[in-house]
Chains A and B, each alone.
Chain A
Amino acid sequence: MTDNIIIKLTAAEIAGKIAAGELTAVEVTEAHLARIEAVDEKVHAFLHVDREGALAQARAVDEKRARGEKLGPLAGVPLALKDIFTTAGMPTTVGSKILEGWIPPYDATLVKNLKAADVVILGKTNMDEFAMGSSTENSAYGPTGNPWDLTRIPGGSGGGSSAALAAYEAPLAIGTDTGGSIRQPAAVTGTVGVKPTYGGVSRYGMVAFSSSLDQGGPCARTVLDAALLHEAIAGHDPLDSTSIDAPVPPVVEAARNGSVAGMRVGVVKQFRGEGYQAGVVQRFDESVELLKSLGAEIVELDCPTFDLALSAYYLIAPSECSSNLARFDAMRYGLRVGDDGTRSAEDVTALTREAGFGDEVKRRIILGTYALSSGYYDAYYGSAQKVRTLITREFEKAFEEVDVIVSPTTPTTAFPIGERADDPMAMYLADLCTIPTNLAGNAAMSLPCGLAPEDGLPVGLQIIAPAMKDDRLYKVGAAVEAAFVEKWGHPLLEEAPSL
């Protein structure tokens, strides 16, 4: 089998062929490493490629099979890991200069779970610094190109992970979603991304941006692959107090049995209007029609508090980040600037932060520090938490009427690199439809629903499910995916230009 065929296989197919002895894990890993070598100079999805480590893991899988041991459902499948998870012995930068050169002494729980599942970690992917951004332009190590059009953004913060999937550099990737950082990149690259229920995937070893919102999750090119990865990384972790101590929802089973027949699907009034690109709205409306044709009942929903979500988010997330990032003080790890023996610790800390943090990170630290200050706390952080409660209640009310909610994932297709770089407000709008879910802690998925006619770029359909009902995402997602692939005659990614 040629490398070109291998890299286009799904994770499920790769695992099946390795288990059947049609492919070795080493062949699969080498094919992807070769692909990275060939295209990543252009795409820049990876910050670090762990060639030796990946091949060693692949060899271990092949040896396991040779010994006749049973292989897990993703054994030998390569994966691109967002550079926000700690990896023992492998650099972890979080896209920031401030952690340049830091080699963590421990593996994140998610990384341990991946290794236990014999998933082959190819390396670490690019991201907006500390996951703050929607374009990956805020990476201290340069932007990532969207494989559909390298002059455009791949979304963010997990642009590296979604670009790696769309460029066939890896069949699986891991992202993290604080305000949309898995779903929005998936939408603009024509891939699948899932934000599990908050607490569904351990945060231990995931460098914190906003603790009450951050959630790791699976990225893939198909709904089934995402489900397989979801199952491998999810579950209770005693090291994360906020991790859910309950069985993982049956996501793989749901992905294998896609159906919307008899389901009630909500469409929220607030998720359209000004700022939404015509082609995005068009593809979304077609998706709703498709759902109807598949047997779903469509229910119009009015959720006025969702209009406040962005404002609440931009108080809560910066507040938590201002505290989470206080530890980067040049004393114990990472960058240290100006320590020439004449300067005080305070001066070295200040110089290091000045050089080590990018503008967006500084902007949010300042914002959050202000919002938490005595005298402002009630007006800002306190009010934002109240809005959060209202949004959660509005979701709860909505889910009394519907099984899932659908919306566009993001109001526009991929915008050109640099277009919104100097306009934070415009950038923040990219997460308009994704943020309410983070605030409420629900589960949500983005999957491709076509190309916008005006620019030929992918549009994402967002499916939102109640907390702990992640399996509904996959049941609906699999049905929609199957219908679209049948309609298009092939997966959407096949329409992407070859690199």
Chain B
Amino acid sequence: MTVTELLSYEAALAEYDPVMGLEVHVELGTRTKMFCGCSTELGAEPNSQTCPTCLGLPGSLPVVNAIGVESAIKIGLALHCEIAEWCRFARKNYFYPDMPKNFQTSQYDEPIAFNGYLDVQLEDGEVFRVEIERAHMEEDTGKSLHVGGATGRIHGASHSLLDYNRAGIPLIEIVTKPIEGAGERAPEVAKAYVAELRELIRALGVSDARMDKGQMRCDVNLSLRPHGTEKFGTRSETKNVNSLRSVERAARFEIQRHAAVLSSGGSIVQETRHFHEDDGSTTSGRIKDNAEDYRYFPEPDLVPVAPARAWVEELRATLPEPPRVRRNRLREEWGVSELDMQSILNAGAVEAIVATIEAGADAASARKWWMGELARNANEQGVSLEELAITPADVARVSALVAAGDLNDKLARQVIEGVLAGEGTPDEVVEKRGLKVVSDDGALGAAVEEAIAGNAAIADKIRGGKVAAVGALVGAVMKATRGQADAAKVKDLILEKLGVSEG
């Protein structure tokens, strides 16, 4: 295997200006496929969710999924696009065994949405505008599993297995205009764009946009041009970059690779490239010469899509607050730093915290629980926060119990542990485990007396002014009450008994 020559990132940027184009495919979360009534549920037995239409059997015909069109319009509107008054589907003709009809029903020169933008926020808070060329509707292909080769690719395989469950699942392809002027921040912009788009898609409720499940896939097109030139260089198209981190790494790698080729006097070949998660590199795929010809023509089996303006406006009125705006608003409301907000985002905790606050908790404690105890727990179990067996309402209840002094921090953790273990609601766990803070002054007073009596020497020290020694007595009381006392209160009681005040 040849090692790809790379120029250092700094050297590359010193000489060249990167231009990017990002193509993102989003699988819509519709219940049925784009052109037939088959289920889109993931994980079913291969080829169990198929019919004559999505198998492309002779005689079969497509029918457009209205929810698919509605989702496409919502995405278009959220990307500030114009929505076509009249558009058609087109056939993209090419051959591949996992494409049943040997053409993909897509859109060509009449996309449903076009000319928009998405503002993305970089880590330092700077806002970068990514212009959107178009968003169009199409159908997914089936999946090929190449068996017997070393790489899992078709080359060298002894045979291939085909699963058409995915064939016909609605896709929206979102294509940016060339992204210029990002400079050394190009990889960061790419990542921030895909992240923002993902949040947007989720906020619209049109897809879960899980990159790890292939519901959102990104192609990174990149070229370099020497500083000061207008003309774009030859681009490479890195296909199926399927995590945010990979998007950034792929862009970075291609910048360094292109720069190495160009600065040594070579020229870039227009080709598709495969991205490798393990080392962040790309390798050559298929050469794309200009002879590639999809012979697009309007799909004669479907009627044009002509969304009524009133309907488009109705959909526009339902658009949620843009994720970036909402995030900034929440950040201010919660009083957290950019950096903290970033970690909340990365942890996928925004919605849980919002819901917990809505259920009555204060922002600080909601954030504390979801980013602390619960994040750790989710991490250990390898699940997302939403998948934990605890609701925002439960967390809010625990916060309320703490605020009321019924639980201390340690007990609260135990309550949460109980809820996660399926022992019931927070109140039920408190009840079953007997986790109330001991606030009965009589019982606590006895424990304090006992601790003073049992640690006379320490008590004397405290009386003598060494207030810091009180910790040992507090510890003894807490031990005696099995941690169910309010430590602050215990401390006050001891000092009171000993006639000492905290100076």
A residues apposed to B, CB below 8 Å: 85-86, 92, 94, 99, 102, 104-106, 108, 203-208, 210-212, 238-242, 319-320, 322-323, 326-329, 331-333, 345, 349, 369, 372-374, 377, 381
Contact = CB atoms under 8 A, between A and B. Distances in A.
Contacts of B301: 208, 211, 241-242
Contact of B58 (A104, A211, A322, A331): A104
A85 B57 CA distance: 12
Contact of B295 (A86, A323, A327): A323
Contacts of A104: 52, 57-59
A333 B56 CA distance: 11
A214 to B, nearest CB: 9
Given A94-B58, A205-B59, A323-B91, A381 B297 contact: yes
A384 B62 CA distance: 25
Given A106-B52, A238-B63, A332-B100, A207 B58 contact: yes
A323 B59 contact: no
A462 B397 CA distance: 82
Interface in B302-348: 302-303
A108 B61 CA distance: 11
Contact of B300 (A211, A322, A345, A349): A211
B64 A374 contact: no
Residue among B59, B101, B103, B162 with the highest chain A CB neighbour number at 10 A: B59
30 contacts: A86-B57, A92-B59, A102-B58, A104-B58, A105-B57, A106-B52, A106-B57, A203-B61, A208-B301, A211-B300, A238-B63, A239-B61, A241-B63, A242-B300, A242-B301, A320-B297, A320-B300, A322-B295, A323-B91, A323-B295, A323-B297, A326-B95, A327-B56, A331-B97, A332-B56, A332-B100, A345-B160, A349-B95, A377-B297, A381-B297
Given A210-B300, A242-B300, A326-B95, 12 more contacts: A86-B59, A106-B57, A108-B59, A241-B301, A319-B297, A327-B56, A329-B97, A331-B97, A333-B58, A372-B295, A374-B295, A377-B295
A92 B52 contact: no
A92 B58 contact: yes
A204 B60 contact: yes
A326 B102 contact: yes
B93 A105 contact: no
Interface residues of B, number: 29
A326 B93 contact: yes
> Which are the 9 A-B pairs with shortest beta-carbon distances?
A326-B102, A212-B300, A372-B295, A211-B300, A205-B59, A207-B58, A86-B59, A207-B59, A374-B293
B59 A204 contact: yes
Contacts of B160: 345
A242 B102 CA distance: 22
B295 A205 contact: no
B55 interface: yes
Contact of B100 (A108, A241, A327, A369): A327
Residue among B91, B102, B295 with the highest chain A CB neighbour number at 10 A: B295
A254 to B, nearest CB: 28
Given A323-B295, A326-B102, A327-B101, A241 B55 contact: no
Interface in B238-261: none
B302 A241 contact: yes
A332 B55 contact: yes
Contact of B102 (A99, A319, A320, A329): A329
A241 B36 CA distance: 11
Residue among B102, B103, B303 with the highest chain A CB neighbour number at 10 A: B102
Interface string B11-33: 00000000000000000000000
Nearest to B92: A323
Contact of A85 (B59, B62, B64, B297): B59
B90 to A, nearest CB: 10
Nearest to B62: A241
B303 A208 contact: no
Contacts of A239: 61, 63
A208 B60 CA distance: 9
A241 B59 contact: no
Interface string B42-66: 0000000000100111111111100
Contacts of B102: 326-327, 329
Contacts of B55: 332
Interface in B327-372: none
Contacts of A381: 297
B303 A241 contact: yes
Nearest to A130: B58
Contact of A327 (B58, B63, B162, B300): B58
Nearest to A370: B295
A94 B103 CA distance: 21
B59 A206 contact: yes
Contact of A204 (B56, B61, B93, B297): B61
B465 to A, nearest CB: 90
Nearest to A84: B59
Contacts of A327: 56, 58, 100-102
A206 B62 CA distance: 13
Residue among B57, B97, B100, B303 with the highest chain A CB neighbour number at 10 A: B57
Contacts of B293: 373-374
